[in-house]
């Protein structure tokens, strides 16, 4: 008779590294004696683990979470291309219950790690804008779905590639994303047309900007319209990251370097 252990043991055999996603202290300590390299991935390094890959947002989506951890470890030189990695993580609620074995060159990098960590804008600014977009996607504006476009970082250049659609309510203000009152303002102004422009440090530079980047050769998924095209194109012409909430399908997408790098369903977040 075949024991499950015999049938599934190959899943964990001969891996180069084990990635523990947000382990608690006692679970982490149990791995003290294993021969494989242990890599901790999480929003903060509470356990002082080394090596450690920081997650800028708490990915509820499994694939996004694993990709981020692996791309981060590759980028930091913790693992090499071609390494076999075992990811240990949680799904649904509760304890570690999910094992995923991946070869690091099995997938092409999505750019998600790069988007947060190597954005011109601070990672915390990118994350804060993301959270506004996700919240707006969940609740809509007075119960109705809304769309919104946030262009984060390299604001001077973005302003040069755009024009005002209306007066700029942020003209002389010095307000930053992440500030609760600003989140309310962003949600309120998202009912109107155009894009928000946000600086590297998170200052809201403008609302109501109509983006006019050259869209030539920008290749975004079919079915997405002018807002997404403008978002993709402006990130190719500048060092900005664009975060878009779609009014029509409700998804939050991010573009960097002219490419779609992330797609999240706010309902699952």
Q: Is 207 in the site for ligand ATP (CB under 6 A)?
A: no
Which residues inside 129-148 make contact with ligand ATP, applying CB under 6 A? 147
Q: Is 82 in the site for Mn ion (CB under 5 A)?
A: no
Min CB(242)–ligand ATP separation in Å: 10
Q: Is 7 in the site for ligand ATP (CB under 6 A)?
A: no
Q: Is 149 in the site for ligand ATP (CB under 6 A)?
A: yes
Q: Is 246 in the site for ligand ATP (CB under 6 A)?
A: yes
Given CA atoms 106, 269, 53, 118 in this order, what sign does their dihedral have? Answer: positive
Q: Is 230 in the site for ligand ATP (CB under 6 A)?
A: yes
Site size toward Mn ion (CB under 5 A) is 2
Given CA atoms 73, 75, 77, 80 in this order, what sign does their dihedral have? Answer: positive
232/229 Cα distance (integer angstroms): 5
Instruction: State the burial class of residue 175 (Cβ atoms within 10 Å of its Cβ: 0-12, 13-18, 19+).
Output: middle
Q: Is 238 in the site for ligand ATP (CB under 6 A)?
A: no
The SS3 call for residue 200 is: coil
Nearer to Mn ion (CB atom), residue 105 or residue 248: 248
Min CB(199)–ligand ATP separation in Å: 18
Sheet holding 162-164, edge to edge: 162-164, 204-211, 195-198, 148-152, 241-245, 252-256, 259-264
Closest by CA to 245, choosing from 142, 148, 150, 177, is 148
Min CB(232)–ligand ATP separation in Å: 10
Min CB(262)–ligand ATP separation in Å: 16
147's contact among ligand ATP, Mn ion, none, with CB below 5 to 8 A by partner kind, is ligand ATP
Closest by CA to 155, choosing from 256, 41, 68, 239, is 239
Q: Is 263 in the site for ligand ATP (CB under 6 A)?
A: no
Token output for 254:
């991010």
Nearer to ligand ATP (CB atom), residue 107 or residue 210: 210
Binding mask 12-41 for ligand ATP (x = CB under 6 A): ------------------------------
Cα dist from 136 to 31, 124, 128, 202, 250, whole Å? 41, 18, 12, 18, 10
Candidate list 225, 258, 267, 268; residue touching Mn ion; CB under 5 A: 225
Q: Is 214 in the site for ligand ATP (CB under 6 A)?
A: no
Closest by CA to 67, choosing from 106, 11, 94, is 106
Binding site for Mn ion (CB under 5 A): 225, 248
Using CB under 6 A, list all residues that contact ligand ATP.
147, 149, 193-195, 210-211, 224-228, 230, 246-248
């Amino acid at each position: 008779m075949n024991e499950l252990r015999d049938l599934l043991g190959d899943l964990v055999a001969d891996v180069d590294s084990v990635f523990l996603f947000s382990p608690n202290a006692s679970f982490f300590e149990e791995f003290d004696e294993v021969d494989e390299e242990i890599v901790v991935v999480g929003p903060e390094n509470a356990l002082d683990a080394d090596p450690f890959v920081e997650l800028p947002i708490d990915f509820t989506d499994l694939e996004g979470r694993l990709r981020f951890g692996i791309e981060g470890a590759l980028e930091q030189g913790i693992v090499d291309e071609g390494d076999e990695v075992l990811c240990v993580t949680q799904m649904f609620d509760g304890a570690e219950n999910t094992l995923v074995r991946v070869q690091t060159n099995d997938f092409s990098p999505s750019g998600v790690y790069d988007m947060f960590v190597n954005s011109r804008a601070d990672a915390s600014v990118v994350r804060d804008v993301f959270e506004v977009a996700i919240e707006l996607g969940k609740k809509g504006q007075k119960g109705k779905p809304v769309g919104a476009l946030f262009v984060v970082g390299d604001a001077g250049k973005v302003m040069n590639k755009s024009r005002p659609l209306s007066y700029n309510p942020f003209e002389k203000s010095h307000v930053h994303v992440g500030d609760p009152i600003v989140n309310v303002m962003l949600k309120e102004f998202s009912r109107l047309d155009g894009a928000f422009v946000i600086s590297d440090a998170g200052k809201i530079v403008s609302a109501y900007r109509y983006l006019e980047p050259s869209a030539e050769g920008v290749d975004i998924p079919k079915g997405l319209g002018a807002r997404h095209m403008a978002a993709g194109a402006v990130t190719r012409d500048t060092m900005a990251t664009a975060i878009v909430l779609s009014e029509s399908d409700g998804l939050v997408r991010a573009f960097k370097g002219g490419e779609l790098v992330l797609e999240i369903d706010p309902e699952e977040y």
